Amino acid sequence: MRDVRAEALSWINSNIDQGAKDEITKLLDDTEALTEAFYKDLEFGTGGLRGIMGIGSNRINKYTIGKSTQGLANYINKVYPNEQLKAVVAYDSRNNSQFFAQTTADVFSANGFKVFLFDALRPTPELSFAIKHLGCHTGVVITASHNPKEYNGYKAYWNDGAQLLTPHDKNVINEVKAITNLDQIKFERNEAFIELIGTDIDQLYLEKIKSLSLSPESIKKKGDIKIVYTPIHGTGYKLVPKCLNIFGFTNVHVLESQSEPNGNFPTVIYPNPEEKEALSLALKKAEEINADLVLATDPDADRVGIAIKDNKGKYILLNGNQTGSLMVYYTLQRWKQLQKYRGNECVIKTIVTTGLIYDIAEHYGVKCYNTLTGFKYIAALIKELEGKEKFIIGGEESYGYMVGDFVRDKDAVSSCAMIAEMCAHAATHDQSLYDLMIEMYIKFGFYKEKLISITKKGIKGESEIANMMTGFRDNPPKSFAESKVEKVTDYQSGKALMVETNELLDIDFPVSNVLQFYTEDGYKISVRPSGTEPKIKFYLSANTLLNSVEEYDTTSDNLDRLLLKIEADLNLS
């Protein structure tokens, strides 16, 4: 805890605008609100800076955005002295995103950077692509991804198009902390250093996505499959329909009621394709036109959720593990059929993502790597393997996927195109995606996962989450659903405990506040605080054999009951 009143007064005594000073002055009479606004500085998590908009050091505003950019500029100047530095800036549809993007561009330009500023909102993955294409040292996108409307954020990228990783993230934070007075931030825009970009980059990006296609002949036959697409008031409307059209899909229905960019997200509670409610209007449209596929992207178009019809004609939502596994299955199968393998291919997933992907990769003789949660870790491994291994596809359970390596972040634009292609290819074999999913489970095992997220807001919530993690470390569960825990992996200590022998093994992984419990029956339970939201998350996974299509419903119900037993043993209530 810092002296929040002293921090607030230091803001008032700086050269910030009078409106901001007046807001802080009002907060001085509200101890709780003042504390929440100033008790700490926002720091880079798994998705960069993310926070509630408002005045204060723990809020997203002109000054925290400016301070972050100044710190980033100071660091890059140290890493690349005597170079003409370049940066790309993009933004999503959230309230104030354009203003924060202009603020970011102003500070970069005031520090001598050549700034490429997108002329309108754009998907986050296009920002990643533009950094590499334009040879920039860094890039920033203003977004809070799928968070509620009160939030905004700041994702910072390195010259490879990937989000900041150690040591760069920590070094930037240190540079930001070294700014002890807001007057040290250079806000004065240098117009000569700012260039607007837009459609030219769009075209290049879409051409690269088109090159990923594995089944153009299937689209020629089944390009008229009915697709409902919703951008959920976000940036996806800019490029997803164009991308589907370029691939050859001719029957795409963009959900009109959610097509307009709007930071208030008026038709949903949360603009998150992981939430069933966010897809309710798209599902209604799908039922009206008897659609084959529903696609939904989050506000910055880096995540995609899908719905498909089951064998009874009912629409079901797939979770991120199911969609990711299907994409890996389709992609690796097509690579084999097209004889593209050279023996050095790999896929990458995160430690909390389904083990089914590992089993699929093993079947096709492709290496499968695990990383910590966050696509920046997948991108870092791709960079490490460059010239040695060929990255094909990667993903994480939180609805983020990436095919190919010309983007170094999860990409809903290319994912929408590849999912639609997968649907068309299945149709040419008289299959639905539901049929393909069951085929996958019969071949590789029926994996089922469940995510439990508990929200704990504010300074009190942080303490409660920390105490929960301490409780699981000090008193780890002995069993789940009557299956003994055999191994406990603690990524914070870098050790794995073999329970029966009490042996401690070293694990070769970066430090992270994550616990994983493995049982004798193959269940996996992961626990971690979110790096982007005030939540603690529990990832439950179980699997069994599926012998036939006829046994699918019964096996699925049995796994659901098993996951409920595992949840009960967590004692979260």
- Average pLDDT of the chain? 96
Amino acid found at 310: D
> Do 261 and 310 fall into the same domain?
yes
Token couple for 115? 């700034």
Q: Which residues touch 222 (CB under 8 Å, ≥6 apart)?
A: 424, 425, 427, 428
Q: Is residue 117 part of a domain?
A: yes
Compute how many other C-beta atoms are within 10 angstroms of the C-beta atom of residue 32: 11
> Do 242 and 282 fall into the same domain?
yes
> Do 217 and 157 fall into the same domain?
no
pLDDT surpasses 60 at 1: no
Q: Is residue 16 part of a domain?
A: no
- How confident is the model at residue 48, as a pLDDT? 75
Q: How far is CA 363 from the centre of its chain?
A: 27
- How confident is the model at residue 347, as a pLDDT? 98
> Do 364 and 382 fall into the same domain?
yes
Give the Cα separation of 115 and 112 in Å (integer).
9
> Do 109 and 134 fall into the same domain?
yes
Q: Cα dist. 93→141, 261, 264, 268, 462 in Å?
A: 11, 5, 9, 15, 29
pLDDT digits over 110-159, tens only?
A: 999 999 999 999 999 999 999 999 999 999 999 999 899 999 999 999 99
> Do 91 and 46 fall into the same domain?
yes
pLDDT surpasses 60 at 2: yes
> Of the residues 197, 232, 250, which one is the last residue of a structural domain?
197
Largest CA distance in the chain: 72
> Of the residues 412, 429, 444, which one is the last residue of a structural domain?
444
Which position among 145, 218, 512, 530 bears the catalytic label? 145
* DSSP code at position 373: S
> Do 147 and 212 fall into the same domain?
no
CATH number at 491 reads: 3.30.310.50
143-166 b/e (C-beta count within 10 Å ≥ 16 → b): bbbbbebebbbbbbbbbbbbbbbe
pLDDT surpasses 90 at 450: yes
pLDDT surpasses 90 at 470: yes
CATH number at 369 reads: 3.40.120.10
- How confident is the model at residue 229, as a pLDDT? 98
> Of the residues 413, 444, 475, which one is the last residue of a structural domain?
444
Give the Cα separation of 255 and 265 in Å (integer).
14
Let me know: does 146 contact 273? Beta carbons within 8 Å.
yes
Q: What are the φ/ψ torsions at residue 433 (nearest 5 degrees)?
A: -65, -30
- How confident is the model at residue 42, as a pLDDT? 86
CA atoms within 13 A on the CB side of 269: 5
> Do 391 and 434 fall into the same domain?
yes
Token couple for 280? 């309710």
List the domain range (segments joined by +) for residue 340: 204-444
The model's confidence at residue 531, banded by pLDDT at 50, 70 and 90, is confident
State the angle between helix axes of 412-427 and 433-444 in degrees (0 to 180), rounded to the nearest 10: 90
> Do 126 and 268 fall into the same domain?
no
Q: Which residues touch 82 (CB under 8 Å, ≥6 apart)?
A: none
Let me know: does 327 contact 422? Beta carbons within 8 Å.
yes
> Do 186 and 284 fall into the same domain?
no
Q: Is residue 228 part of a domain?
A: yes
The model's confidence at residue 106, banded by pLDDT at 50, 70 and 90, is very high
Q: Which of 442, 428, 23 lies closest to 215, judged by CA? A: 428
Compute how many other C-beta atoms are within 10 angstroms of the C-beta atom of residue 454: 15
pLDDT digits over 8-57, tens only?
A: 999 999 999 999 999 999 999 999 999 999 999 887 665 678 999 999 99
pLDDT digits over 363-379, tens only?
A: 999 999 999 998 999 99
Q: Is residue 524 part of a domain?
A: yes
Compute how many other C-beta atoms are within 10 angstroms of the C-beta atom of residue 79: 14
Q: Is residue 148 part of a domain?
A: yes
pLDDT surpasses 60 at 104: yes
pTM: 0.95
Q: Is residue 30 part of a domain?
A: no
> Do 89 and 189 fall into the same domain?
yes
> Do 506 and 409 fall into the same domain?
no
Token couple for 550? 């006829």
Q: Cα dist. 226→220, 237, 348, 423 in Å?
A: 14, 17, 31, 10
The model's confidence at residue 279, banded by pLDDT at 50, 70 and 90, is very high
Number of domains in the chain: 3
Q: Is residue 1 part of a domain?
A: no
pLDDT surpasses 80 at 539: yes
Give the Cα separation of 226 and 246 in Å (integer).
16
Q: Is residue 316 part of a domain?
A: yes
453 catalytic? Reply is: no
Average pLDDT of the segment spanning 467-482: 96
Which range (40-49, 153-162, 321-330, 334-343) has the least confidence?
A: 40-49
For the chain, the C-alpha Rg in angstroms (whole number) is 24
